[in-house]
Structure 1
């Protein structure tokens, strides 16, 4: 895949190359498909930025059209992700840079070969006491995660 491929597929007016926010407060150049439509917007950071080819990361952060083959997407609940995976999984606690990131699919259906699916979840709006905060791992089927019932706020595919 390349920026040129995206332009051919989605049209010149629907693909731009701009600076976006990246991991740990960094900025990166990315191809953005449907930049003006949050429900269809997707950002692609390239391994070969100069030639704009070979994706390093594909990210979606608004509920909408983009979903995994298993049907998982932004806005899904913890239980919906667990059902799509076919089993519990492991995610980090909240309140830090990688908070809510799934770190192990525990051999479930959402584990990938050739790329890695990362989902990031956040507690729902409302009172939250912080009992699942910090740089530690939690099982999705733990009592604390069940009580918080977080939702997916970002979906990423990473490639090497």
Structure 2
């Protein structure tokens, strides 16, 4: 799953680079950034950066920086695509994050560092995790805020499935080539006021630009954030995956 996740992000960059778009993103037409929409319970002095974990490189680096007592070397994460081996940092606390290792290099090379929001429709969506990216991305941010940080709209997958709500391409914005992945999700109790038809138009196995009127109105929040090493993908595989992504995109 994680390998596919990196591949989606990388191929998204290829798609963005191969297209010469003449469209102009009108950020004024998208919900204005609300300064309190992702109000964090964490003070600036408590903020921790995911990139610092990635720079630890290996298990020894993790234990040296954060303390061996805060590292759970072996654990299993269950997803819709199966069980995956991972390492937990600060397990069972508000600072918990998942660490994935490069294939064939367990404990020797960190591939991906992931923090999850753990939000639900019945709980407070205010994040309590101190983790964020050095680019300013954090859990609980509204899509409109992320668009503002990126400087333009971007492409995401449809909501409501295992790979739903993931950014496929930053479309040449400020977050492009930063090796950052985020996932959006909807935690409203009424589909954000959308009709079933409109909600369906932004759900399922498809890709679309965040200029889409339905996703603008829904304005979902970030519930997963990760930083990662760029995956090794051959030119042939990259071209093949690019074509598959383009087939699923909804025309602007």
Q: TM-score surpassing 0.5?
A: yes
Unaligned runs of 5+ in 2: 1-56, 118-126, 232-252
The count of aligned residue pairs is 157
Q: 1:74 aligns with which of 135, 139, 148?
A: 139
Cα deviation 1:123-150 (Å, max 9, x = unaligned): 1321123331111112112211111110
RMSD (Å) for aligned C-alpha atoms: 1.8
Runs of 4+ in structure 1 deviating by more than 4 angstroms, as ranges, are: 48-51
Task: Give the Cα–Cα distance (whole angstroms) in 2 for the partners of residues 68 and 51 of structure 1.
Answer: 24
Q: 2:222 aligns with which of 126, 135, 152?
A: 152
Structure with the higher helix share, 1 or 2: 2
Q: What TM-score comes out, normalization by structure 2 length?
A: 0.58
Q: 1:69 to 1:137 in 2, by over 3 A?
A: same
Task: Indicate the structure (1 or 2) with the bigger Cα radius of gyration.
Answer: 2
Q: 1:118 aligns with which of 174, 178, 181?
A: 181
Deviation of 1:56 after TM superposition, in Å, equals: 2.1
| 1:91 aligned residue | 156
Q: Is the 8 A contact 1:3 1:31 kept in 2?
A: no
| 1:65 aligned residue | 130
Unaligned runs of 5+ in 1: none
Higher relative contact order (CA 8 A, sep 6+): 2
Q: 1:28 aligns with which of 74, 80, 84?
A: 84
Deviation of 1:49 after TM superposition, in Å, equals: 5.7
